[in-house]
């Protein structure tokens, strides 16, 4: 069984910002919007499926 990799939100933001060559502030805004979108869909009881992992 694979244990996976555990990262907190700030680590994810830093990693994406570095790899994409954009600021952490811009990356944080994108991540925050993504999390908000998922939360909104969950609140509406919509099915959420993130494929390709």
Q: What is the pLDDT of residues 26-38, one digit of tens each?
A: 999 999 999 999 9
Domain segments of the chain as ranges: 9-43
Is the CB of residue 17 less than 8 Å from the CB of residue 23?
yes
Kindly report the average pLDDT of the chain as a whole number. Answer: 94
Look at 4-8, 15-19, 26-30 and tell me which has the smallest mean pLDDT. Answer: 4-8
Q: How confident is the model at residue 3, as a pLDDT?
A: 80
Is the CB of residue 38 less than 8 Å from the CB of residue 48?
yes
pTM given for the model: 0.77
């Amino acid at each position: 069984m694979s244990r996976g990799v555990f990262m907190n939100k700030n680590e994810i933001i830093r990693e994406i910002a570095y790899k994409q060559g954009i600021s952490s502030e811009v990356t944080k805004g994108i991540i925050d919007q993504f999390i908000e979108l998922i939360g909104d869909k969950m609140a509406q009881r919509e099915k959420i499926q993130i494929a390709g992992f």
